[in-house]
Amino acid sequence: MMYLRHPITRRVGEAVLTLVGVSVLTFVLLRVVPGNQITASYGTAAGELSPEQVRSLEAYYGLDKSLPVQYFDWLRGVLTGNLGVSTTSHVSVAQLTGQALPNTIELAVLSILVGLLLGVPLGVLAASRPGKSRDNLTQLSSLLALSVPSFLLATVLASWLANNFGWYPNGEGFRTLVQDPGLNLQQMILPVLVLGISIAPPVLQTTRTAILAIRAEDYVRTARAKGVPERRLQTRHILRNALIPVVTMTGLQFGFLLGGALVAEQIFAIPGIGRQVLLGLTQKEYAVVQSTVLIIATMFVLVNLLTDLVYRVVDPKARVR
Amino acid sequence: MTTSPAPARELVLKVRDLSVTFSTSRGEVEAVRNVSLDVAAGETLAIVGESGSGKSTLVACVNRLLADNGRISGGTIMLDDLDLTAASEKRMTAIRGNRIGLVPQDPMTNLNPVMKIGAQIVEALEVHGLAKGQAARTEAVRLLGEAGISDAEARFHQYPHEFSGGMRQRVLIAMALACRPEVLLADEPTSALDVTVQRLVLDQMGQLASELGAAVLLITHDLALAAERADRVAVMYRGEIVETGPAAELIADPQHEYTRRLLAAAPGMAGAKVASVRPAAENLLEMTGAIKRYRIRGRRDPFLAVDNVDLVIPRGQTVAIVGESGSGKSTTARLALRLEDADGGSVRYRGTDISTLRGKELMAFRRSVQPVFQNPYGSLDPRYTIGQVVAEPLRVHKIGDAATRRKAVTELLDQVALPASFADRYPHELSGGQRQRVAIARALALNPELVVMDEAVSALDVLVQEQILDLMVSLQEELGLSYLFISHDLAVVRLVAHQVYVMNAGQIVESGDPDTIFRSPREEYTKQLIAAIPGHTLTAA
């Protein structure tokens, strides 16, 4: 029984439980919402279908089986590598994901970078003189960035650039990084900026709070008493320690982004994982939604594990835990 | 008041009429008033005082590292010919660590947790341009070895959390002495350490400082420790130095009233205050062959925290467990409180095995056995008024209504000598000693028979500690209480205990009445503990 207590076994166990929970919840939610694949694909015409037609359609979509059977059929498929097929486009979910996921990952990585590049230096700046004008100004703009909804910022930015400068790279149809790196990066600029601006405020606040707390630590005073010059003190002793909570924060944000930045993907027409879920939902493509959500959840869990690894690099104490 | 100049040695540090003011929400507060003192090369001057006396502020001034709301409002601090109060910040950065070394109080919080031990010492050498690269590393390893770290080469690459408290303090000493400073400031350098470790660390620090010929300013709350370690002692009280003189003279013939009170309260020197024993007392709690194991991650064999402990607490008596941190004394207390179940042996309360208690019986047991914990700052809910804190046990056990509880609170506060008006105050408005009184009042709320005091006086100043010990004894006389008194401090234990159990590595190594144990300890470990009591050599002499 000893191995059950081992931290790694526990983490993996927790992860599996989380994924099972997510899959059941998605499954139930999809079926609680009124309507199914038949009403979604036939629209109002679904009402004119004869009972026989409905029955054969239900048999076709597998809706005639009991809910547990439907769930376990799907689960068995997932476990054997079959994520299901989109019935409207006749493309497998695996293929769909293979196309969408790289775009989402690219978007998430770039957005996190922008969020960190904005948030950490501004957090340092705000913490440098707490309560003074510099601090107040950064805090105010961070609050502003946090409160402006990203769909608004995205729309305003995009239409302003399009109308006044005729620059709207996202209008030409999406190119992946492999297909056309130049155009792809141009297309990514706006969504990355919009997402980065929404990530920066929490990063800024975390950095600022951590710096202020660490500055009051005994070991900082001891370093001063050792004669460490101010600049070195700020970087080697204070910032280095302050980054530990920032890592946690960033990991969480990254996880959310991998779930698909739905708004940004929709407005800037980026075929990412968020759009895939949305498309599946409007078509009531049960398999697409269930499998994609499961993939997103898996990514989230993986990112959390990754955060733990980074944690071990920045916090030596985590290495023995 | 000026100290008498030390004879024939070069004065390194001269403080003249130093005053320090803090601006607080309640206006300006003068924390240090007209303090003058001298420290010569190779000399140790101890500054003794209780918390809030201004002794740490004085140290902060020498380093010019006062808190932001504090400023030096008058006087000078001369390091040789340089007035530190007038030096620029840049100048001070060059002096700190180089000409003035600091050994801080708490080794657990004073090392940067994300920097390797070696790098932190190398940094001291590098920022002052004394050595670089490989030379600095070699020097740092040598310094660590000198400070008493064995296998310094390997430990150089470890992080602070891989070091024990005593080892960390050695690292801090190595760091403070790295640049061979002329002045060494030691601010309560060992008050967070076990007594036996404290002695070793102080020996090492004293030896290294005298090799360097540094002037040492030793700050401590412990008069006995000061007298043992310093050439001269200055007693500080409410921001002023009230008395100063050669250590032996000051102890033998204290002039100031406050010094006399400190001496009388020092556990190593005070007389016992044990309550009279009631005849033919029955046994309240009996522990027989108690065992507690903890599993440790990454190790196959469980750790034996409590190993076959036999212990008896007679009614109306104080039974003490003494030992160093990690000896298992707190775990034993937790077994007695049934905060944990023993893995072997039995704990009987009034003849009943407490592990079998359920429901109402368990509640009755909880009512009659109450704890008081170490940290008076952490054990009171900051959002409760004192009245709510004291009444909480009554509410939990559904005793009385609001009105009778209020009355009970007043009576309880009176028992611990606090005015009834305290019921409406919040914990942060109280001093450490007052808070510990509140914790005792809370423990008494349910009319317990046994109170478990886990290091309940360790965090308090000697004078306050004396008051709490007096309170314990008088409550015992009055209410016939029994105590299980857990402490690392053999000197304190001797004052109040009827029976002493000495614990080491989970086992009881020796037990008996305190005087016998003090006069003729049988076990080597007990002898070490007694020898390590600060001032032991003074009283023995």
Question: How many domains does chain B fold into?
Answer: 2
pLDDT of A47 reads 78
Residues A273 and A133 in one domain: yes
Q: pLDDT per position in chain B (541 positions), as tens?
A: 444 444 557 899 999 999 999 888 778 888 899 999 999 999 999 999 887 788 889 999 999 998 888 899 999 999 998 999 999 999 999 999 999 999 998 888 899 999 999 999 999 999 999 988 899 999 999 999 888 888 888 889 999 988 888 889 889 999 999 999 999 999 988 877 777 788 888 898 898 889 989 999 999 988 888 888 899 999 999 899 999 999 888 888 899 999 988 888 877 666 667 767 666 578 899 999 999 988 766 667 778 888 889 999 998 899 999 988 878 888 899 999 999 899 989 999 988 898 888 888 888 998 899 998 877 777 888 889 899 999 998 888 888 888 889 888 998 888 888 888 888 888 888 877 788 888 888 988 888 999 999 888 877 778 888 888 888 888 888 888 899 999 888 888 888 899 999 998 889 999 998 888 888 899 999 988 888 887 766 654 3
- Among residues A79, A110, A134, which one ends one of the domains? A79
Nearest-by-Cβ selection for B97 from A6, A227, A237: A227
Angstrom CA distances, A27 to A24, A101, A277, B259, B502, stand at 5, 22, 13, 77, 63
Those residues with Cβ within 8 angstroms of residue B366's Cβ, 6 or more apart along the chain or in another chain: B338
Q: Measuring CA to CA, which residue among B457, B417, B465 is closest to residue B441? A: B417
pLDDT at residue A7 in the model: 65
Residue of A nearest to B61 (CA): A225
Enumerate residues 6+ apart whose C-beta is below 8 A from A269.
A170, A171, A173, A174
Question: Which of A5, A225, A237 has the CB atom closest to B112's CB atom?
Answer: A237
Same domain, A74 and A179: no
Task: Take residue B465 and report the two structure tokens written for it.
Answer: 């500690």
Gap between the Cα atoms of A92 and A103, Å rounded: 18
Q: Are residues A24 and A100 in the same domain?
A: no
| Closest partner CB to A316 (pick from B94, B102, B113) | B113
On whether residue A224 sits in a domain, the answer given is yes
Is A320's CB within 8 Å of B114's CB? no
Instruction: Report the residue of chain B nearest A230, measured CA to CA.
Output: B93
Q: What pLDDT does B1 receive?
A: 43
d(CA A24, CA B430): 54
3-state helix, strand, coil split of chain B in percent (to 5) is 40, 25, 35
Q: A218, B114: Cβ pair inside 8 Å?
A: no
Nearest residue, CB atoms, A222 vs list B95, B104, B127? B104
- Looking at the structure, do residues A74 and A126 belong to the same domain, yes or no? no
User: For residues B311 and B501, is the Cβ–Cβ distance under 8 A?
Assistant: yes
Same domain (yes/no): A52, A152: no
E strand or H helix at A154, and its extent? helix A150-165
Residue A153: its pLDDT value, please? 87
Indicate if A268 and A125 belong to the same structural domain: yes
> Which residue stretches of B40-132 are H helix?
55-63, 89-95, 117-127
Do B385 and B468 belong to one domain?
yes
Least confident range from A39-43, A55-59, B83-87: namely: A39-43
- Tell me the CATH number at A196: 1.10.3720.10
Residues B239 and B300 in one domain: no
Q: Is residue B172 part of a domain?
A: no
Residues A191 and A124 in one domain: yes
Q: Are residues B261 and B303 in the same domain?
A: no
Domain co-membership, A164 together with A279? yes
Q: What's the mean pLDDT in A194-211?
A: 92
Torsion angle, alpha carbons of B64, B70, B74, B78, to 10: -10
Helix axes A93-128, A133-147, angle to 10 degrees: 160
Alpha carbon of residue B252 to chain centroid: 25
Contact yes or no for B101/B179 (Cβ under 8 A): yes
Q: For residue A221, list chain B residues with Cβ-Cβ distance below 8 A.
A: 65, 104
Instruction: Give kind and range of the element (H or E) at residue B78.
Output: strand B70-79
- H-run or E-run covering B536: helix B536-540
How far away is chain B from the Cα of A236, in angstroms, using its nearest Cα?
9
**One domain for residues B358 and B467:** yes
B319 and B406 inside one domain: yes
**Nearest CA of chain B to the CA of A214: how many Å?**
10
Residue B248 sits in the same domain as residue B370 = no
Alpha helices by DSSP H, B377-461: 386-396, 402-415, 432-444
Same domain, A64 and A212: no
- The DSSP-derived string for A181-206 is HHHHHHHHHHHHHHHHHHHHHHHHHH
Q: Which two tokens stand for residue A210?
A: 């951590």
Could you tell me if residue B11 is inside a domain? yes
Same domain, A127 and A20: no
Q: Which of B205, B200, B204, B199 is nearest to B218 (CA)?
A: B205
| Residue in A7, A224, A317 closest to B96 by CB | A224
Q: Do residues B102 and A225 lie in contact, with contact meaning Cβ atoms separated by under 8 Å?
A: yes
Question: B110–A219: do the CB atoms touch at under 8 Å?
Answer: yes
Which chain A residues contact residue B106 at CB under 8 A? Answer: 218
Cα nearest neighbour of B111 on chain A: A219
Q: State the pLDDT at residue B540.
A: 45
Number of neighbours of residue A113 by Cβ within 10 angstroms:
13
Best residue of A226, A235, A310 to probe chain B, by most B CBs closer than 10 Å: A226
Q: Would A156 be classed as within a structural domain?
A: yes
Same-domain check for residues B256 and B291: no
What is the per-residue pLDDT for A10?
A: 77
- Mutation target to probe the B interface, by most B beta carbons within 10 A, among A128, A219, A233, A312 is A219
Residue B32 pairs in a beta bridge with: B20
Confirm whether A149 is domain-assigned: yes
Nearest to A240 among B65, B95, B114 (CB): B114
Residue A202 and residue A71 share a domain: no
Sheet of B70-79, strand order: B27-40, B11-24, B70-79, B82-83
Sorted by sequence, the CB contacts under 8 Å of residue B121 that are 6+ apart come out as B140, B143, B144, B171, B174, B175, B178
Tokens 């002695």: give the residue.
Answer: B199
Q: Single out the residue of B445, B425, B448, B444 nearest to residue B435, CA to CA.
A: B425
Residue-wise burial string across B172-189, b where 16 or more C-beta atoms lie within 10 A, e elsewhere: bbbbbbbbebbbbbbbbb
What are the pLDDT digits (tens) for A8-33? 777 788 888 989 999 999 999 888 88
Structural domain includes residue B59: yes
Query: Which domain, by its residues, includes B436?
Result: 283-540
B117 in a domain, yes or no? Answer: no
**A314 contacts on B by Cβ (under 8 Å):** 114
CB nearest to B96's CB, from A226, A232, A316: A226
Cβ contact B113–A228 (<8 Å): no
For residue B202, give Cα distances in angstroms to B188, B228, B388, B534: 11, 11, 44, 11
Is the separation of the CB atoms in B227 and B250 below 8 Å?
yes
Burial class (CB in 10 A: 0-12, 13-18, 19+), A284: buried
B324 and B350 belong to one structural domain = yes
Rg, chain A, Cα only: 24
Average pLDDT over residues A41-46: 76
Name the percent of chain A in helix, strand, coil, to the closest 5: 80, 0, 20
Tokens read off for B274: 């044990």
Q: Are residues B255 and B315 in the same domain?
A: no
CA distance B93 to chain A (A): 5
Q: Are B268 and B535 contacting, i.e. CB atoms less than 8 angstroms apart?
A: yes
* 3-state SS class at B81: coil
Q: Are B314 and B354 in contact (CB under 8 A)?
A: no
Question: Is the CB of residue A132 less than 8 Å away from at least one CB of chain B?
Answer: no
- Residue A86 inside a domain? The answer is no
Claim to verify: residue B86 and residue B24 sit in the same structural domain: yes
Is A109 in contact with A251 (CB distance < 8 Å)? no
> What radius of gyration, in Å, describes the C-alpha atoms of chain B?
25
Q: How confident is the model at residue A110 (pLDDT cuts 50, 70, 90)?
A: very high
End position of a domain, from candidates A46, A79, A112: A79
**pLDDT of the residue at B188:** 87
Distance (Å) from the alpha carbon of B192 to chain A's nearest alpha carbon = 14
Model pLDDT for residues A258-298, shown as the tens digit of each residue: 876 788 888 888 888 988 888 888 888 888 888 999 998 98
CA distance A66 to A93: 23
CA atoms within a 13 Å half-sphere pointing along the CA-CB vector of A51: 0
Amino acid at B422: F
- Report how many domains make up chain A: 2
- Structural domain includes residue A88: no
Tell me which chain B residues have a C-beta less than 8 angstroms from the C-beta of A317. 113, 159, 161
CB pairs under 8 A between A and B: 82
- Looking at the complex, report in whole angstroms how far the Cα of residue B97 sits from the nearest Cα belonging to chain A: 4
Of B65, B94, B98, the CB nearest to A224: B65
Interface of A with B in 4-63 (CB under 8 A): 5-7
Instruction: Please name the member of B65, B93, B114 whose beta carbon is closest to the beta carbon of A241.
Output: B114
Window 203-222 of A: residues touching B by CB (8 A cutoff) are 217-219, 221-222
Q: Which residue has the tokens 């510099």?
A: A134
Option in B100, B112, B128 nearest A223 (CB):
B112
Distance (Å) from the alpha carbon of A5 to chain B's nearest alpha carbon: 8
CATH code of residue B220: 3.40.50.300
Q: Do B127 and A227 touch (CB under 8 A)?
A: yes
Tally of CB atoms within 10 A around B524: 11
Domain assignment of residue B159, yes or no? no
Cβ contacts of B39 within 8 Å, gap of 6 or more: B6, B11, B12, B13, B45, B183, B215, B216, B217
Tell me whether strands B232-237 and B215-220 are parallel, antiparallel or unpaired: unpaired
B424 and B325 within one domain:
yes
**Phi, psi dihedrals of residue B219, rounded to the nearest 5°:** -100, 130
Q: What percent of chain A has pLDDT over 90?
A: 27
Q: Does A229 touch chain B (CB under 8 A)?
A: yes
For chain B, the residues whose C-beta falls within 8 A of a C-beta of chain A are 63, 65, 93-98, 100, 102, 104, 106, 109-115, 123-124, 127-128, 159, 161-162, 172, 175, 179, 295, 297
Q: Which residue type occupies A220?
A: V
The alpha carbon of residue A203 is apart from the nearest alpha carbon of chain B, in Å, by 21
Token digits for A173?
A: 């149809």
User: Is the residue at B208 inside a domain?
Assistant: no
Pick the residue from chain A with its C-alpha nearest to B163: A317
Residue B512 lies in a domain: yes
- Nearest-angstrom CA–CA distance, B149 and B140: 11
Q: Is A127 among the domain residues?
A: yes
Domain endpoint, select from A55, A79, A103: A79
Give residue-wise pLDDT tens across range A67-107.
899 899 889 988 888 888 887 788 888 998 899 999 999 99
- The dihedral sign for the CA sequence B468, B474, B475, B477: positive
Residue B183 is assigned to a structural domain of this protein = no
What pLDDT band is residue A165 in, cutting at 50, 70 and 90? Answer: confident
Select from B110, B185, B219 the residue whose CB has the most chain A CBs within 10 Å, as the one to mutate to test that interface: B110
Residue identified by tokens 């010492």 is B121
pLDDT of residue B541: 39
Q: Is residue A84 part of a domain?
A: no
A85: in domain? no
Please indicate, yes or no, whether residues A158 and A237 belong to a single structural domain of this protein: yes
- Which residue, A110, A109, A77, is CA-closest to A94? A77
Residue span of the structural domain in which A255 resides: 93-319
Are B371 and B334 found together in one domain? yes
